[in-house]
Amino acid sequence: MHPDVKKAMEPYFAEDFGNADSLHLFGQRASAAIDKAREGIAGELNADFDGIIFTGSATEANNHIIRGAVRSFLKPNTSNLKPKIVISAIEHESILETAEDLEKYGVTIVKIPVSKEGIIDTATLKKELDENTAIVSVIFASNVIGTIQPIKEIGEIIKNFRKETGSEYPLFHTDAVQAFQFMKLDMKELGVDALTLSGQKIYGPKGVGALAIRKNWISKVAPLITGGTQEFAQRAGTQNTPAIVGFGKAVEIVVSSREQEARRIEKLRDDLWSGIKKIVPGAELNGSKENRLPNNLHVSFPGSDNQELLIRFDQAGIAVSIGSACSVRSRQASRVVLELGLGEERATNSIRFTLGRNTTEEEAKETLGRLGKLI
């Protein structure tokens, strides 16, 4: 967490501990602090103030929009329309598993394939749109391989479909948790109806997320948590004022240095990749090299086992990840790499390096020095 975020949060643990929904002065101070954070996030996304819904996590926000869109689709329909969810094959588990859970109750799930570069097939997506489609959800940038999807193009496809059919559906959502740190996101320009963010991914506190919903959808999406009128009756429960304040501050900080940080981290990442290739010439990069987040390196080390590598790296003081993994026999294969069509062997020898605000050139060099002794 950024130290300025922690500083901004501190008063709301004790001095301004009022419930934001109370009418007394102490409550109004907390309410004003939440509104300031909401206003800042809405302004940055070119979204509606009353369309910013604070949640306990990005996972909750994703559940909220997927489940809420399906329920809202069913409510006004008296015909035999069967709701359908269209997602990419490389969604975060909070989208994938939520969709698969709804499948048990008769909802149709369509997973759009991606290329070997990790980019969604927009032609297939277009073909899958029909009168049953309640929601399309496509991750903005993969949390595993870092590839960036053509969200604006998808927005145009959905806009044209609505125009041709006269329907207000499908709702178009993107999980932008990984992208926000490095990219300017304008909901209106992108053509998205809903967008998910996370506090912890931008050096804010853990345990807070946000779901931005366009004004024309806010009253239609059924709430996930009921029992109060908080968050414009979209998310019942007393708000976590310190976390929301920290989230708002983290957004301010990220936006102020976004372009500069993206360039710095991208150079650091490219230098790290060049160093890895010198040490392990057979290493391969998973996902598009050009169309990916600046901080992501998802690398295949032929002949290695990713779980064994993870342990060896950890013992050497280097934190890496297998990424989103599913069990394949006795080894761990990256589900996302499997979806790229690169084969099981490559999916079981791949690990992810993630760089960030605190990563220095010296640390990258030290990593390469230690890596050379491990592989």
Would you name the residues annotated as active-site residues? Answer: 326
Of 208, 186, 190, 188, the C-alpha closest to 199 is 208
Between CA 82 and CA 97 the distance in angstroms is 19
Between CA 272 and CA 285 the distance in angstroms is 12
Between CA 331 and CA 326 the distance in angstroms is 9
Between CA 308 and CA 117 the distance in angstroms is 26
Strand partners of residue 111: 87
Output Rg (C-alpha) for the chain, integer angstroms.
21
Residue 158 neighbours by CB under 8 Å, 6+ apart: 129, 136, 170, 172, 191
Between CA 56 and CA 209 the distance in angstroms is 6
Of 19, 58, 27, 53, the C-alpha closest to 38 is 53
Q: Which two tokens stand for residue 44?
A: 């940055």
Between CA 178 and CA 367 the distance in angstroms is 23
Angle made by CA atoms 79, 215, 252, in degrees to the nearest 5: 140
Q: Dmax of the chain from CA atoms?
A: 66
Between CA 218 and CA 292 the distance in angstroms is 31
